[in-house]
Amino acid sequence: MIGNLSLFPLTAEVNSQGHLVIGGCDSAELAAEFGTPLYIFDEFSLSSKCAEFKTEFGGRYPGTGVIYAAKAFMNTALARLFNEEGLGLDVVSAGELHIAREAGFPLDRVYFHGNNKSVEELKLALEWRVGRIVVDNLPELSMLDGLAGERGAKPDILLRLSPGVDPHTHRYIATGVIDSKFGFPMLGAEEAVARAISAANLNLVGLHFHIGSLIHEVAPYELAIERVLDLAGEMKKRHGFELKELDIGGGFAIQYTRDMPAPSVSTYAEAITARVIGKCRELGLAPPRLTIEPGRAVVGQAGVALYRVGVIKEIPGVRRYVSVDGGMGDNIRPALYGARYEAVVANKMNEKETGEVTIAGKFCESGDILIRDISLPPLVTGDIIAIPGSGAYCLPMASNYNASLRPAVIMVREGKGRLIRRRETFADLTRCDLV
């Protein structure tokens, strides 16, 4: 093999036929049974990650709240699993809130984010009594105050700050820099805190920041914590503000490729909790409740995408294109961010890599390339390509481009695979059409 199983779910192994096995299920058999493209989630890996976040952060900073960022991927089965694991949920739309509610997720453990929440969304958040509304800007602050007043409610809110920290990630997923559509810039933070404190119908419990995604360093978190706690100290002196909760967002990286390792959860936990504790001590602040919002790091490695090889085209001296039956419709990340992935041939795990190929999708765009120049064993039509690290931000960003059908999703555990989302059908494509 060859492929690096450490990028795959924790239960990944190779069986006697040389097939990739996940959660005790032979991936080639799964592909035959459920069709391709197919997204597989390993339940053991999901639960283990939830536990890892809880113990690594909670062990160092008791009571740390782990709020899963649903945008990384959520459906009913996953919402139920995260509920059983005792996590909270970060939602950014009425749609995500709806899925959580339908799944029976306790809404008092839900944090509602968004830079442009609509009146309808805020009304729903109040009516359904979500745990926290993370207020992003002044118009939202006054709108929410008014809506809460009309309903005799007093929601717990956090203020989202943009601490002006560069997380050294792709600019499309850097959010905490000064020039960002998200959150209050530090210069406007005092006004936001003062207004929130004096708002009759809002209960300001704390501050939030999220500086970006796929952050490979701990220093940006440390710097943001310093800045936001400095501000909290000032606000205490000037406005009597008590910081009860500090939410440091998500952004923890995972390893997608062999050449780009990611820090462990414990590395992030150690740096973040130490800085919160140290800084609070320095400023004489009572340590707030700590909240983290991992998305990618919870689901990313638990998910594997399976594709079937179709046409193989050799352009002599130039490139060998191996086209698969999915692509940018189910994973836009390579086209959008230049994201890089590894792959293995799931039905040829024990065969030697013989040459470089480019794995192309089937969509009508030259940019629909999943992986450029990867060494794989000899391929023939019908082989199964497995891409690790596909659990986060692939399915939720999937589209029906070229009227493609969004893939089926299965959860595997101890040798059993169960469908947790059926593949779309042609009927789904015209379901919303009116004549």
Which positions lie near ligand LLP, rule CB under 6 A?
Answer: 69, 71-72, 90, 113, 173, 210, 213-214, 249-252, 293-297, 333, 337, 393
Whats the size of the chain, residue-wise?
Answer: 435
Taking the least distance from each CB to ligand LLP, the nearer of 334 and 417 is 334
Contact, 300 vs 68, CB < 8 A?
A: no
Other Cβ atoms less than 10 A from the Cβ of 16: the count is 6
Q: How far is the CB of 325 from ligand LLP (least distance, A)?
A: 22
Contact, 365 vs 335, CB < 8 A?
A: yes
Rounded Cα–Cα distance for residues 184 and 214 (Å): 22
Taking the least distance from each CB to ligand LLP, the nearer of 44 and 337 is 337
Taking the least distance from each CB to ligand LLP, the nearer of 12 and 215 is 215
Q: How far is the CB of 151 from ligand LLP (least distance, A)?
A: 25
Give just the sign of the alpha carbon dihedral 323, 328, 333, 337: positive
Q: How far is the CB of 250 from ligand LLP (least distance, A)?
A: 3
Nearest to 155 by CA among 183, 177, 126, 135: 126
CA-derived radius of gyration, the chain: 23
DSSP code at position 344: E
Which residues in 34-140 belong to E strands, given as ranges? Answer: 38-42, 65-69, 88-91, 110-112, 132-135
Rounded Cα–Cα distance for residues 230 and 279 (Å): 8
Rounded Cα–Cα distance for residues 107 and 100 (Å): 8
Q: How far is the CB of 238 from ligand LLP (least distance, A)?
A: 27
Contact, 368 vs 360, CB < 8 A?
A: yes
Tokens of 410: 């299965």
Residue 50 falls in the annotated catalytic set: no
Rounded Cα–Cα distance for residues 202 and 216 (Å): 36
Contact, 245 vs 289, CB < 8 A?
A: yes
Taking the least distance from each CB to ligand LLP, the nearer of 27 and 390 is 390
Q: Which residue out of 25, 50, 280, 364 is catalytically annotated?
A: 364
Taking the least distance from each CB to ligand LLP, the nearer of 71 and 348 is 71
Beta bridge partners of 20: 14
Taking the least distance from each CB to ligand LLP, the nearer of 27 and 213 is 213
Taking the least distance from each CB to ligand LLP, the nearer of 170 and 239 is 170
Beta bridge partners of 59: none
Q: How far is the CB of 170 from ligand LLP (least distance, A)?
A: 7
Q: How far is the CB of 277 from ligand LLP (least distance, A)?
A: 22
Tokens of 386: 């497995």
Q: How far is the CB of 169 from ligand LLP (least distance, A)?
A: 8
Rounded Cα–Cα distance for residues 72 and 333 (Å): 12
Rounded Cα–Cα distance for residues 72 and 299 (Å): 7
By annotation, the residues acting in catalysis are: 364
